[in-house]
Structure 1
Amino acid sequence: MIGIFGGTFDPIHIGHLRLATEVAEALGLDRVQLVPAAIPPHRGEPLLDADTRLELVAESIADDPRLVLDDREHRRAGPSYTSDTLAEFAAEFPGEPLVLLMGMDAFNGLPDWHEVDRILESAHIAVATRPGARAQGTAREWLEARRATAEDLPGAAPGRIVPVEITRLDISATGLRALVDQGRSLRYLVPEPVVRHFTCG
């Protein structure tokens, strides 16, 4: 099974890497493709340009064979929609189960994503949960109707949803950007390549 973990990664941080690692371990994923969004459609202009974000992700996962940089959204023109990305993966790896990784906040917003039906038709969803995090509204209804376990995924049609409890790390890219604005250190919150970028940049 292939995990797909998209995001702006502005910047990539330890929370992203732990999420990818812990979900991969819990579900037995062969690898996780990290897919930086070149043009994120649901937020404003990133702090870091697309080339820099791509480079920092590559450097941050260079020594982890289970995590793989995927630059397809960087190469593709127009907004970086997850539905298009998953369709490309499904065409490239026919018959291979795909698992879209996301946190609970992203999952709660999933019903409003572009072409969400295509997303559910292309991949399973692994929702990284932490104590106190709860699915809400339509997302909660989907979780109740589509809930599965790791063992269910390999033989199931796409669209099953698996909650995976992970280590609680209260790190956010928004908070990190605030630290940058304040001239404060990011050390021990982000991979060393990101520390070097903001120290030397």
Structure 2
Amino acid sequence: MHLSEHHAPLTQQAIGFLGGSFDPIHFGHLRTALEISEALDLKQLFLLPNHIAPHKTSMQCSAVQRCSMVRLAIEKQEKLHIDTRELNRPQASYSIDTLKEIKRDYPDTPICFILGMDSLLGFDNWHQWQDILNYCHLIISHRPGWKCNFNDNIKTLVETCITLHKEDLHRYLSGKIYFQSTSQLAISSSQIRQALLQKKSIDYLLPNAVKDYIQIHKLYKNPSSG
């Protein structure tokens, strides 16, 4: 995808948010976050651990433990940060609610909300999905050479809001959709949990500090309940 060579003066450098259960966090999450942060010249990129209801404890670990693993994973990476607002809520909330809250905290800063291609395909099922771009840009992380058939709602949304110029993400506060190619490492949290359950090695799937934390706290030892 061709990007503009024109670099206008930036009035306000954008910040990014990448949500996920991070159950546990791994190199797939971290590499995507770092590549997008660098490719789009983001001022900051926040990992946003999602709230998980207590009765859906597929991880057998607390919100505090998931948060601790994220902190350990990024402690030596100055480009990445953590935002705990969803973990601090007593119940799960919709993305639109989180984005409204983020916008209140950063009223004059462009917000980039990062999604995978699979999330974009079902985006029109999200709560108040038509309003989300009033609060942020959508950054779609995808494999190189992606090809996708969107339904009519998503096709219209993309055609209306797509930009090929990353400078627009800093120039406008919200409303743009930008597709960013990333490495898309074939690692999943469920794969890691299954390996631990089967007493197999999780080396090279996540940072050593996170692996050590999992071992010390004896996490993911029981079959997933959700």
Q: CA deviation at 1:170?
A: 0.7
In the alignment, which residue of structure 2 is the partner of 1:156?
172
In the alignment, which residue of structure 2 is the partner of 1:96?
109
Give 5+ residue unaligned stretches, structure 2.
1-13, 219-226
Q: Determine if contact 1:126/1:161 at 8 Å carries over to the other structure.
A: yes
Q: TM-score, normalised by structure 2?
A: 0.81
1:189 match: secondary structure = coil
Post-superposition CA distance 1:31-62 (Å, at most 9, x none)? 1011101226xxx4331321111110011111
In the alignment, which residue of structure 2 is the partner of 1:146?
161
| Mapping 1:57-72, distance limit 5 Å | 57-72=70-85
Q: Which has the higher contact order (CA 8 A, sep 6+)?
A: 2
Q: Determine if contact 2:26/2:189 at 8 Å carries over to the other structure.
A: yes
Q: CA 1:129 to 1:180, structure 2 compared with 1: closer, same or farther past 3 Å?
A: same
| 1:46 paired residue among 51, 54, 58 | 58
Q: CA deviation at 1:140?
A: 3.7
d(CA) in 2 for partners of 1:74 and 1:88? 14
Task: Give the length in aligned residue pairs.
Answer: 199
d(CA) in 2 for partners of 1:2 and 1:151? 13
Post-superposition CA distance 1:94-134 (Å, at most 9, x none)? 11000001211122222212222332210001111103544
Q: Determine if contact 1:104/1:134 at 8 Å carries over to the other structure.
A: no
Give the residue type in structure 1 aligned to 2:161.
R
2:18 match: secondary structure = strand
Q: CA 1:101 to 1:180, structure 2 compared with 1: closer, same or farther past 3 Å?
A: same
Q: CA deviation at 1:77?
A: 2.4
d(CA) in 1 for partners of 2:197 and 2:145? 30
The yes-or-no answer on 1:27 pairing with 2:40 is: yes
Q: Determine if contact 1:37/1:80 at 8 Å carries over to the other structure.
A: no
| 2:212 paired residue among 183, 189, 196 | 196
d(CA) in 2 for partners of 1:154 and 1:72? 24
d(CA) in 2 for partners of 1:14 and 1:94? 31
Query: Which consecutive segments of 4 or more residues in structure 1 shift more than 6 A?
Result: none
Post-superposition CA distance 1:155-200 (Å, at most 9, x none)? 2251211000011311112222221221111111111122113333
d(CA) in 1 for partners of 2:191 and 2:94? 25
d(CA) in 2 for partners of 1:157 and 1:30? 14
Q: Determine if contact 2:32/2:184 at 8 Å carries over to the other structure.
A: no
d(CA) in 1 for partners of 2:91 and 2:25? 22
Q: TM-score, normalised by structure 1?
A: 0.90
Instruction: Give % identity.
Output: 34
The yes-or-no answer on 1:179 pairing with 2:195 is: yes
Q: CA 1:141 to 1:186, structure 2 compared with 1: closer, same or farther past 3 Å?
A: farther
CA-based RMSD of the aligned residues comes to: 1.9
